[in-house]
Structure 1
C-alpha cells in the first residue's frame, strides 16, 4: 500500500473536504505500520491495529536513515554555519533516541 512516511501534524492540512496529508517526498510502498510510528506517539495507538514489531522496525529504519544523512553532511566540507549547528542538534537527537 502507498505510505506517506511522515504523517505528523506538520504534514497535515484541514480543508473543506477534511484532513489532507501534504509533503509526499518520502512516499513508498510499504506495510501500513510505516506510517503508524508518528500516529502512535500522537496517542492514536488504541485505535490502530498495528504489529508492534513492524512499527519498531520502521521507526528504526527512519532513525538510521536520518543518522546516515547527518553522517554524510558532516563527511562533506562544512564551515560551522547555522545549518551545520541545526544538523548537529538533529544528529544528537537521533543518537539520543537510539539509546
Structure 2
C-alpha cells in the first residue's frame, strides 16, 4: 500500500494504519477503505502466522464505516427513456438472443 510509505511491516504503528486508511477513504470511497482494511488485516495476519512480524496493528484499527446506499430507484418510464434501443419488436428479441445492437435484426 503506497499510503504506508517505505516503513517496514515490523515498525508499523496503529497510527500508521489509521492514517493510511483515512487517506484511502478521502481519495476514493469509504467502501474502498473498508476493503483495504480487510485486505491489509488479512495480509498482516498471514505475516504473523509465518512469524515475519510480531503483531498485526491493523486489528487494532477500527474498520471504516460504510454508509448504506439510499439511492432512488428508477421508474419504468425513466428506465425506458434511458434505454437507447427499441423496447419491443425484433431488435429487442435480437438483443436478448445475444446480438450486438448494430447486428440485431430489425
TM norm structure 1: 0.36
- Higher alpha-carbon Rg: 2
Q: Name whichever structure is richer in strand by fraction.
A: 1
